[in-house]
Amino acid sequence: MTDSDSLLHLRKVTVQFGGLKAVSDFNFRIYPRELVGLIGPNGAGKTTIFNLITGVYRPTSGSILFEGKSVAGKKPYLITKRGIARTFQNIRLFDSMSVFDNVRSAFNMHLRHGISYALWRGKGFDAEEARIEHEARELLDIFHLGKVCDLSCASLPYGDQRRLEIVRALATRPKLILLDEPAAGMNPTEKTELMELIRFVQEKFEIAVLLVEHDMRVVMGICQRIAVLDYGIKIAEGPAADIKSNPAVIRAYLGVDDGEPNSVT
Amino acid sequence: MACWPSRSTINDQPSTHLIEFLQQLINGLSLGAIYALIALGYTMVYGVLRFINFAHGDVFMVGAFAGLYVAPAVLKLSNGGPSWPGAFLVLVIAMVVCAILGIVIEKLAYRPLRNRPRLTVLITAIGVSLFLENFGQYAFGVDPQSFPDLIGDHAITIPAWCGPLTDLTIMVSQVLVFAVTLFLLISLRFIVTKTKLGMAMRALSVNPVATSLMGINNDVVISFTFGLGSALAGAAGILISIQQPSIDPLMGLQPGIKAFVAAVLGGIGNIPGAALGGILIGVIETLVVGYSDRLHIPSGYRDAVAFFLLILILLFKPTGLLGRVEREKV
Amino acid sequence: MFERSKIILLVTVAAIFVASRFSSHIDPYYYDIILSIGINIILAVSLNLVNGYTGQFSLGHAGFMSVGAYAAAMFTTYASGPFLGILGPLGPFLSVTIFFGIALFLGGLAAGVTGLLVGIPSLRLKGDYLAIVTLGFGEIIRVIIENVDALGGSRGLSVASGYTNLFWVFATAALTIYVIVNLVNSTYGRGFLTVRDDEIAAEAMGINTTKYKVLAFTLAAFFAGIAGGLYAHDKQFINPEGFNFLKSVDIVTMVILGGMGNTTGVTIAAVLLTILPEWLRHLSERPWLPHWIAPLLANRTIPYSLLLIILMLTRPQGLFGAPGLKRKKA
């Protein structure tokens, strides 16, 4: 695949906070409809990469191209409009709003009419609101959250909240979705369900997925390609099998050992 | 600023302009010292609790009134005349009263809200401030009252060998303000860097959770911080009353906001910054007022200058001169 | 076109019109209070959009009210000649109605523009800092008015015509409620709530948080300006002191008491807090009251400030708000 095919292209991205280089010279590509993983020890810079891609941080140097156009340092809401959505490490739902309203918030950016319609409430307004309601409920139903539609999202169990966050991100109709440690705090059964959910999302919605995760079973299980970060530098990249036995990766996670075969599982 | 030395007689010689400038500078430093003392309270509380204690300026006012009520008794001890020991006694008593007030306010109004959103505490602080001001008007009367002359204030005689400097007017009270402020600043630095409580304060301002995990009782440290800051405000209240003997229950409003601007200017949460900011604001204000004719600033706008400065700082350099940027973790 | 909320609005306005025909039967003292209730509803409901629904703490709402008051007053004073001349043929009732409507609209416009100018730089700041900056702008507006002689300065401005009546006040209040409730209950308007709940997540959902903050601020300022215009033509005398920080705190108290983000609650709170000071003053004049309690009640800031403190300590969500976050966001 050539460069022109890539959906997201990070080239020599470096970000520096004061004296600390959180990410150095990071090169990375994601192609449409790929499922890619980003792993590394704690503090390696994975969430920083997310924040760079979504515009929360601006790179000190390097370029970030999405569908060929630069998104480096753009405002987050503009980047979402271009087609990149994300979830957060610590779930960030809109606590005061219902499940339905959380998903509905994602339709704001696709609204065809502005404030005057909300005030005047002509026929166009009603039609659009009905369409939004229909689509939102449909989306929630697909993910088995339809029944709790009108409940406060804070009352949902943890696993459902994570799922809701993913649904909400999907409602923005992205081409690429970034999932930040979606399996955190889940038990093995929930994690297996999550893996199926992510595969389902990738196939049904035909979008690319970039996954940051600590659980190796999850990452190795679903990712087609994995990049490994350590201290802000990419130390390895390739399919799961290669990563598992890559000595640099093993060193990063487990430290230098005295000769016994090791693998990262 | 009724009894402050104004600019010396003008006769358009360069040295006269210099003298005039020096005079304003001295006045400004004296005023700035007082702002610095108040600003320290704002900055210390913000450092440990990340909240702006709206009511701090009114603690300053309570200090002045505490002095007012204690002064007659103290003066009696010295047979009605001004006495330095008497003045220091009044100062200490006012500091203690304010320290207690600060600790009580924290315990009753702010501590229960420790884990609530910051806005809740801010609103409470506004309530406390309004209460102190208006209850003060009820208790002390609305009209300004006269603070007794505790030290027999007069201009010090400058020796003749200083030449043109003899035209300067330096009041004993100004010297007192410098000396006391300097002493308090040094003591504060000592407390913050060399004592356990001081180090605990600094630890708290960086990471409250870790601090409590180290076995430190956060509540005690916070109380101590409030007490310390309030005591300094109380000292400022006495010092300004010695310089400008007219006190009233709303006297904390203007100095309060100016000291707050000073704390922000220096970098909120930064102790040396607050002292620096206080001095700067005092000097700037005195220079602006002193030269207001030449700067063509109508006197009515004076009160808005502090707010204007604050808005400029917050918009262009919110971390102030010496502060650190704090990033929100995403 | 004939959508439910519009029908409710039209019916309500018609009912208000009918009721206003009987206003001459109401005792002037109560009539005054009723008008104040209506004006306070407009102020509180509009501020609720900013503080309650969008979660941005503004402490300068009285400043926008003053802009509207002075703008409308200036217009009716100086433009009455030409305008009433043009509108004359329409008859006295219609011409005055249109003239006053234009005056109010211009007042709202002036206030809205001021809100835009203040909001754009200020809304970059969060929490405590935004509150202080809006407070600062409110004070700056007040000081500017105090220094402009054409506006009467600190002496105040007399307003010749008392156009305000029951119909104008309550029809405007109904309109304000209509606009804000309809706005917030649409997908577009839900955007305001996302800004309050989590700005970072809102941006990640493609919502331009800055746009929403500025929009809320400007719209609220617009309605505050209209309220100001109504106020000016009711009391027929305005001065800058009447639009000071305390007035802003008054309005904020209504928003908090009502439950931030609950229009019904805020409306009720506005009614309660308009009646409360009158009731307190009434109470303070009772002969059986010990003489030392009377001043505590007559100066309503004392019970108000205590109310704020107690409210924050016991029920920060106000009377009707959702309990909301007890923890600080991590």
Print the SS3 string covering chain C. CCCHHHHHHHHHHHHHHHHHCCHHHCCHHHHHHHHHHHHHHHHHHHHHHHHHHCCCCCCCHHHHHHHHHHHHHHHHHHCHHHHHHHHHHHCHHHHHHHHHHHHHHHHHHHHHHHHHHHHHHHCCCCHHHHHHHHHHHHHHHHHHHHCCHHHCHHHCEECCCCCCCHHHHHHHHHHHHHHHHHHHCCHHHHHHHHHHHCHHHHHHCCCCHHHHHHHHHHHHHHHHHHHHHHHHHHHCEECHHHHCHHHHHHHHHHHHHHCCCCHHHHHHHHHHHHHHHHHHHHHHCCCCCCCCCHHHHHCCHHHHHHHHHHHHHHCCCCCCCCCCCCCCCC
> Residue A114 and residue C322: Cβ atoms within 8 Å?
no
- Cα torsion B307, B313, B318, B319 to 10°: value is -110
pLDDT tens sequence across B211-233: 888 888 889 999 999 999 999 99
pLDDT above 50 (res B9): no
Contact of C161 with C27, CB cutoff 8 Å:
no
In this prediction, residue B299 carries a pLDDT of 66
Which tokens belong to B313? Answer: 């700082």
Pairwise CA distance, residues C226 & C233, whole Å: 11
Tell me the residues of C at the A interface, defined by beta carbons under 8 Å apart.
Answer: 1, 3, 5-6, 179, 182-183, 186-191, 193-194, 196-198, 200-209, 215, 261, 322, 324-325, 330
A152 strand-pairing partners? A98
- How far does the CA of residue C262 sit from the closest CA of chain A (Å)? 12
At B315, is the secondary structure helix, strand, or coil? Answer: helix
pLDDT above 70 (res C50): yes
pLDDT band at A258 (very low <50, low <70, confident <90, very high): low
> Residue C206 and residue A80: Cβ atoms within 8 Å?
yes
Residues of chain B in contact with residue A49, where contact means CB-CB under 8 angstroms, are none
Q: What is the mean pLDDT of residues B3-26?
A: 67
Burial degree of C254 (CB within 10 A; 0-12, 13-18, 19+): buried
Name the A residues in 202-261 with CB < 8 Å from any C CB. none
Pairwise CA distance, residues B119 & C130, whole Å: 11
Q: Largest Cα–Cα distance in chain C?
A: 65
- Least confidently predicted of A30-34, A167-171, A261-265: A261-265
Which tokens belong to C272? Answer: 């309660």
Contact of B158 with B168, CB cutoff 8 Å:
yes
> Residue C205 and residue A96: Cβ atoms within 8 Å?
no
Q: Which of C120, C123, C132, C255 best tests the B interface by mutation, with the highest count of B CBs <10 A?
A: C132
In this prediction, residue C149 carries a pLDDT of 86
> Residue C305 and residue B137: Cβ atoms within 8 Å?
no
Residues of chain A in contact with residue C200, where contact means CB-CB under 8 angstroms, are 56, 76, 88, 92
Q: Is A46 in CB contact (< 8 Å) with chain C?
A: no
Q: What ipTM score was computed for the predicted complex, to two decimals?
A: 0.88
With tokens 């402050």, the residue in question is: B4
Q: Is B263 in CB contact (< 8 Å) with chain C?
A: no
pLDDT tens sequence across A64-121: 999 989 999 899 999 999 999 999 988 999 999 999 999 999 999 888 777 777 777 7
Which residue in B133, B304, B318 is closest to C143 by CB distance?
B304
Q: How many CB pairs under 8 A join B and C?
A: 116
Residues in contact with B47: Cβ distance below 8 Å, sequence separation at least 6, in sequence order:
B201, B202, B204, B205, B225, B268, B269, B270, B271
Nearest CA in chain A to B324: A18
> Residue A129 and residue C187: Cβ atoms within 8 Å?
yes
Nearest CA in chain C to A130: C187
Q: What is the mean pLDDT of residues B310-324?
A: 84
pLDDT tens sequence across B173-222: 888 998 999 999 999 989 988 998 888 988 888 888 888 888 888 899 99
Contact of C186 with A129, CB cutoff 8 Å:
yes
Q: Is A93 in CB contact (< 8 Å) with chain C?
A: yes
Burial degree of B9 (CB within 10 A; 0-12, 13-18, 19+): exposed
Nearest CA in chain A to C324: A96
Q: Please report, rounded to a whole number, the percentage of residues in chain B having pLDDT higher than 70.
A: 92
> Residue A111 and residue C188: Cβ atoms within 8 Å?
yes
> Residue A56 and residue B327: Cβ atoms within 8 Å?
no
In this prediction, residue C281 carries a pLDDT of 86
Full set of structural domains in chain A with CATH = 1-83+174-265 (3.40.50.300), 98-173 (no CATH)
pLDDT tens sequence across C80-98: 888 877 877 878 888 888 8
Pairwise CA distance, residues A250 & A38, whole Å: 15
In this prediction, residue B17 carries a pLDDT of 81
Helix (H) or strand (E) holding A29: strand A20-30
Pairwise CA distance, residues B278 & B265, whole Å: 8
Nearest CA in chain C to B303: C143
What pTM did the predictor assign? Answer: 0.89
Pairwise CA distance, residues B283 & B29, whole Å: 6
> Residue C183 and residue A115: Cβ atoms within 8 Å?
yes
- How far does the CA of residue A99 sit from the closest CA of chain C (Å)? 13
Q: How many CB pairs under 8 A join A and C?
A: 113
> Residue B330 and residue A17: Cβ atoms within 8 Å?
no
At B151, is the secondary structure helix, strand, or coil? Answer: coil
> Residue A95 and residue C198: Cβ atoms within 8 Å?
yes
Q: Is A112 in CB contact (< 8 Å) with chain C?
A: no
- Least confidently predicted of A181-185, A259-263, C2-6: A259-263
pLDDT tens sequence across C13-22: 998 988 888 8
